[in-house]
Amino acid sequence: MKKASLVAGLLLLMVLWGGLLPFADRTSFSVHMIVHMGVVAGAAPLIGIGLSGTRFDFTQSQRWITPLTGSVLELFAVWTWHVPAMRALSESSALIAAAEQAVFLAAGLALWLSCLGGAASGREERRLAGTFGLIFTSMHMTLLGALLALSPRPLYGDGIVSCLGITLSAHTDQQAGGVVMLLVGAVVYLAGGVALLAQTLNSALAAPMNQPGGRPRP
């Protein structure tokens, strides 16, 4: 399962970075958001599952990367790159756009690996912290997505753009991008947090049965 997850995550990155991003309208905010959510909420968790607990799991040696610091890193990465001036820089330079995507992937991996990976001796303890880290990320993704979708004016240009062949005004394009963040980002992180909480509860319930003299409840 780990190998399949890793391959799926890498293939998704290839589709996003090698197929969609180079050939789509780079001024379209909704295209940007599709790629962004695909990286942090699609490829990053899949790659994180594949790398967790292996020698490539950098959270085993970098103990300062916890679910809390990972969620804060994700917050700064997401909100910084959605400042209008930063979006304009990314749209104007392929090099800056590549740096933006690298930051998104690094922040996403730091968060997901901090929740899923780490040293085997401390992985169980990370699950509960990971629940709060992913739910917090879901909350700030929801907030940013709502602000973008409900903004009374466009923040990223004022012309006409093309989103996957569909012509949109700058305002409608921004609203579509905000909805993508709401539907994909918020839901994926919330689902991840709930899944970690369920694993924590299952482990807690199973612990007494695994102890000497433990027996299932009637």
Question: 134, 69 in Cβ contact below 8 A?
Answer: no
pLDDT at 211: 57
Integer Cα distance of 111 and 199 in angstroms: 18
What is the three-class DSSP state of 28? Answer: coil
CA-closest candidate to residue 7, choices 41, 62, 46: 46
- Check if the beta carbon of residue 134 is closer than 8 Å to that of residue 67: yes
Distance CA 193, CA 78 (A): 19
Is residue 77 within 8 A of residue 103, CB to CB? The reply is yes
Q: Tell me, what's the pLDDT at 86?
A: 95
- Specify the pLDDT at position 96: 95
Q: For each of the chain's 218 residues, which pLDDT tens digit applies?
A: 889 999 999 999 999 999 998 888 889 999 999 999 999 999 999 999 999 888 888 888 788 888 999 999 999 999 999 999 999 999 989 999 999 999 999 999 999 998 886 555 556 677 788 899 999 999 999 999 999 999 999 999 888 999 888 899 999 999 999 999 999 988 899 999 888 888 878 766 765 555 555 555 44
Specify the pLDDT at position 59: 83
Contact 97, 20 (CB under 8 A): no
Distances (CA, A) of 207 to 119, 131, 193, 218: 20, 20, 21, 16
User: What pLDDT score does 207 carry?
Assistant: 57
pLDDT digits (tens, 9 = 90+) for 34-44: 999 999 999 99
The DSSP symbol for 154 reads -
Helix axes 94-116, 67-81, angle to 10 degrees: 160
d(CA 79, CA 216): 48
Burial 42-73 (b: 16+ CB within 10 A, else e): bbbbbbbbbbbbeeebebbeeeebbbeebbbb
The pLDDT of residue 52 is: 87
> Over the Cα atoms of the chain, what is R_g?
19
- Name which of 21, 42, 199 is nearest 127 in CA terms: 199
Question: Which residue in 149, 155, 152 sits closest to 184, CA to CA?
Answer: 149
